[in-house]
A = this chain, B = another copy of it.
């Protein structure tokens, strides 16, 4: 008797029931991420306004080799000992916090006027891992809750779900965050015996709304967070991509009280395929009243049990790109920023041309970023998306995916980052045909 036949006759097979697996696996947030990632692949003929992917521009694989060489030369520094350091750093497991924290710190100082000790930075596998680390640390027990501007990026909702941390939505309003609602939600949560830990938001060109906080609102938010004694989790993937207006200071650059945990990413500004993000967590931590380091030190312990460390090879590629650009990525992204701005204006003009006032179709007008929100006079759900993709060959993202509960039923997100003006026109023609189709049916 062979081993295989022995096994197959003697042993019952395994079947798992989804009901016996973690609840997140039945949660809309986790299903959303997969749907959004894969819908465009399912309909390759459609024009897709769905993915918030950066445009590869002139990227060539040779860039990866060149970045890697730039980092290698920097570490080698012309010495034999340096060459051995570079070899070991690339080959071996590295420090959990990362091998390019110093380069990230120089980049933050150059581009964002954020000045922090590199030891308060953790280099993560994309910004997503940084979210998981922060939320895992902050979720101590079932009383803890996270606040997040609503509609929210699905990544924060999903990360919260993975660590069993409820999310209390805070209205985005038209200013990016409704501070009165934030205060009310914190008060309400406390009255319910809950412990609000932090408020997550994307202050610049938010996903999915495209909204940005103006400067006075940034100051007021920091004041309010101090008053309420909650942390701010600032996520800043799109900050460079303003269309003309002067960049606004990040919350972290205005933060003198260690109030802000700052999440950054090189996915949109350098190279998604390296999957390099980071978190600045300079909050002091005490244990039994004594100083015990910073939140970054605590996050490092958690990271050691999630990914051990971020692939040094991927860090080295990003490190080389930072070196090659003298740490000035805003400047390095000037062409990309202009390209995204042109696409945004093309999209706004295209909507105005196809839906002249008065129209049952409306939209907001972000001054930068990758996204805008369209309001339609019908329910824009996943079924309509499938119909739209199949029948009209145009894909968009139903806004309901970005709401924890009700909300966004008659709204959809359009992403412009990966579409040429020609594709935008074609996509908008198809979208207009969908609207006509739907209006004729109602």
Binding site for B on A (CB under 8 A): 3-4, 6-8, 10-25, 29-31, 33-34, 37, 53, 56, 59-61, 64-65, 68, 72, 86-96, 125-126, 128-129, 132, 136-140, 155, 158-159, 161-164, 219, 222-223, 226, 229, 231, 249, 254-259, 267, 271-276, 283-287, 292, 295, 298, 300-302, 304-314, 317
Contact = CB atoms under 8 A, between A and B. Distances in A.
14 contacts: A7-B219, A11-B257, A12-B257, A14-B259, A18-B285, A22-B140, A33-B301, A56-B87, A93-B272, A128-B305, A164-B164, A271-B313, A311-B313, A314-B314
Nearest to A282: B14
A219 B8 CA distance: 12
A309 B275 contact: yes
B298 A14 contact: no
Contact of A301 (B30, B64, B259): B30
B11 A267 contact: no
Nearest to A128: B308
B162 A306 contact: yes
Contacts of A24: 136, 301-302, 305
Given A6-B219, A87-B60, A306-B162, A14 B231 contact: yes
A144 to B, nearest CB: 9
A155 B94 CA distance: 16
Contacts of A292: 18
Contacts of A257: 7-8, 11-14
B56 A22 contact: no
A179 to B, nearest CB: 15
Given A16-B295, A287-B18, A275 B308 contact: yes
B65 A90 contact: no
Contact of A94 (B11, B222, B273): B273
B285 A56 contact: no
B125 A286 contact: no
Contacts of A272: 91-93
Contact of A64 (B95, B155, B304, B313): B313
Contacts of A273: 89-94, 311-313
Contacts of A158: 304-305
A287 B14 contact: no
B11 A226 contact: yes
A160 B221 CA distance: 37
A305 B310 CA distance: 16
Given A10-B226, A92-B53, A275-B311, A306 B256 contact: no
